[in-house]
Structure 1
């Protein structure tokens, strides 16, 4: 409920009346993709300019020639992905969810045979047998070539997976591993990393190695925190002075986080220092709202965002604003909506239908300074290169907190244009397109999609396993 009232981003709508089919006419899908992008994508006016128009048109011409003869879904997806990648916006996403045809096929192998392969010399550290946190699935990861690894199901207690299925494919890139899983292909690169005997697939999954090496005690504890859909949530008092919370995802867990924070609130406030560890957190929605009270030293303002003014986008945004413009604000939320803010929403709701502006400012909501001063007195936010989307938005808001400092490495770079706001159906029913229709407050003057947000205290030169101890030491020495 709270999310609806204080944050308008990351809301799913659908307005298109495109007829969908189970057959893949690639030319029709590309035509729809191009038309909808040019009409509604918030980044299009900035990314297709006189300087880039020639390159863009050459790509369009190539795809218009290539797509008419393609009917195989994965081949079509790859062509459409090249169009998406032109824009270099990780929130502009095309997904392909196979209904039955899996491009990788199967690689049947028994666990005993796989173990023998693992014991051969010169095996890569990633190769071996890995277990899911709940123990219901094991994968055998093997190297296919210099840049590709496949994870094959060796045993399964899940009906959806049978031995021999290729569950995941990992690819080596200059930035590290990226992965695709069996359920879906997605144009946004999904990062992965091996941390000792743990394998993290962005915010989504953690796996533990059980052969030929096995996890140590601390790695087993980490894997345990991913059981039962907890996705790595951890709280610990590192000392009498410092509390540590680790939140590896904001994906669809607002209520879980709210309850979890409330359960640990007294222990958090018993410490002078709080470390908010968002390493590995690729974002999601607005679960970060539960952390805002620990940051407050003054009101925190969500600055205006800017919707690209088109008939489709205006329709969508007015649906977002309709409640605020036409209904009384419930008493519990009136502190976020003083009369001036409500009037700004009413004005936006009315003016969107007539404005001549190419982008219209949508008011943001302010978090009032309504908590008593006290612990925590100092807050450290830790981020890394996996931190994208709403994690980056929380990073941005934290800069208004006088007691909060940011540690780590540059974030992922995925927030210049708000994501997941407009699912646009394509003719082929297994393709899913989300077009950002809103740009962030900073996008025109200080874009971050190619750089990420940069923490003021860089930890690049330290082993990641030492970051928490280092930050704790910094806080407690002051």
Structure 2
């Protein structure tokens, strides 16, 4: 469980797609993809218990592949991986999953950019304007009394073109947003003096360029840093909030520094709110230092078994080479040897070989008495495993909505399956709690559901803890 990768389907980072022609015909690509999945996907047997349905899909796709161009082939390959309904299994190129063939926001907005800029010089509407966010320049135009349209002006990705509609805002505070694969996310937004737009559930922040915001740059940067970043702050005499928007490897140092810097606040807070909204996961190492402060003495883990394949062995060898020369590889070496001795079968790295194991924690002498964890549909992968083990503690309550649901098959890698530039993102293990307790496409359920009428989740959690 130590190398769970984040849920790439939720990534809002934009990776430029390079125009590289495929090296295989569509038929050949499909054949290679099918072979790779059938041999190495740990969920294959569980997801194909109706053989006739699966064989029918393959035959249909083989027939269609003969006449597909590159774009049509992408859609066909996506249809194949979508069959398995696994958020950790997708096909794409350049590290990006292929987009759905259709989507709510496949239409364009008819607009003249120069006329729109001229309009902004006289608009009295605080939301209208030109904004920037990672990978995009966005125009926001009021189209009806209660509705705004966010449209592409510039994009770093070929998946989105100028004038494509990216999102819609309603005066009620609701948004509808299309991710890079054009799948739809909904939630609530906040406006900070018309200078910043924050799409809360997906943790997207847009900064206004035009018209020039009326508040000063220092105020904007301060609020932007808070919205985008990691922070630990006191809300009242009794309650503090810890914001962790990601568990990705590159943030490990930031998280550890944050906890070290605020250790006295962590120990002295009667109540703690941990905000995991929009956290796509990363590595379970990211939250180990928190467990002694929120958990009971014992934590029950449901184990996992890994499918021993040469691809996984090769990935572990690559991982070893990426480590600092002073880092021990003894554990990884043992795993590699075990995999080599059991190619084609499932391996449980747990020493006892049991499907469940129990960790005994040394609890912190001082810790919060009550803890609320905020989670939503954007909370995925290893962030969900944090919810899974945190809910075992008597002093933890999860508030929000069901999490994303991507935890049954994990430790996913991006691999080449023999037809560049196409790539396959595929997990290497299956959870041993299956089939009794599935989480994929269901999510971890909150102890208290927060409905759309609750606009400020942190304020609600504060009231809940102190009432």
TM-score higher than 0.5: yes
Unaligned runs of 5+ in 1: 1-5, 13-20
Alignment of 1:388-467 (within 5 A): 388-429=380-421, 431-460=422-451, 462-465=453-456, 467=457
Residue aligning to 1:360: 347
1:234-383 matches, within 5 Å, as 234-251=231-248, 252-286=250-284, 287-313=286-312, 315=313, 351-355=338-342, 358-363=345-350, 368-383=360-375
Counterpart of 1:474 in structure 2 is 464
Contact kept? 1:108, 1:165, Cα under 8 Å:
no
Residues in 1 aligned to 2:327 and 2:77: alpha-carbon distance in whole angstroms: 43
The aligned counterpart of 2:116 is 113
Residue pair 1:419, 1:434 contacting (<8 A) in 2 also: no
How many residues in Structure 1 have an aligned counterpart in Structure 2? 419
**Structure 1 residues 152 and 403, CA gap change in structure 2 (3 angstroms):** same
CA contact (8 A) 1:389 1:414 kept: yes
Q: In 1, are the aligned partners of 2:6 and 2:280 still within 8 Å (CA)?
A: no
Do structure 1's residue 68 and structure 2's residue 71 form an aligned pair?
Answer: no
Q: Which of 83, 86, 103 pairs up with 1:86? A: 83
Encode CA deviations 1:400-444: one digit per residue, 9 max, x unaligned. Answer: 323222111111111111043352345132x33111120123232
CA shift at 1:33, angstroms? Answer: 1.2
- Is contact 1:190–1:202 with CA below 8 Å preserved after alignment? no
Give the deviation of 1:299 after TM superposition: 3.9
Q: Contact conserved, 2:95 with 2:423, CA < 8 A, in 1? A: no
2:11 maps to which residue?
none
Contact 1:223-1:232 within 8 A present in 2 as well: no
Task: Indicate conservation of the 8 Å contact 2:109/2:163, yes or no.
Answer: no
Tell me, in whole angstroms, the C-alpha distance in 2 between the residues paired with 1:130 and 1:260: 34
SS in 1 for 2:229: coil
What SS does the aligned partner of 1:54 have?
A: helix
Q: Hey, what does 1:36 align to over in structure 2?
A: 36
**Which whole-Å CA distance do the structure 2 matches of 1:118 and 1:201 have between them?**
28
> How well do the aligned residues superpose, as a CA RMSD in angstroms?
4.8
SS of the equivalent of 2:410 reads: coil
Q: Structure 1 202/390 Cα, relative in aligned 2: closer, same or farther at 3 Å?
A: farther
**1:40-77 C-alpha deviation (Å, 9 max, x unpaired):** 11111100113xx22222221222122233333x3322
Deviation at 1:208, TM superposition (A): 4.6
Contact 1:411 1:452 in 2 (8 A): yes
Does residue 166 (structure 1) correspond to residue 162 (structure 2)? The answer is yes
Query: How many Å separate the matches in 2 of 1:91 and 1:321?
Result: 19
Give distance in 1, aligned partners of 2:120 and 2:363: 59
Q: State the match for 2:5 in structure 1.
A: 10
Contact 2:302/2:433 (CA < 8 Å) preserved in 1?
no
Q: Please state if 1:205 is matched with 2:204.
A: yes
Give deviations 1:380-417, integer Å, cap 9, x for gaps: 11111221111111111212323222111111111111
* Change in 2 beyond 3 A, CA 1:426/1:311: closer
**Contact 2:304–2:431 (CA<8 Å) still a contact in 1?**
yes
Alignment check: 8 A CA contact 1:91 1:414 kept: yes
Give the whole-Å Cα distance in 1 for the aligned partners of 2:305 and 2:95.
Answer: 35
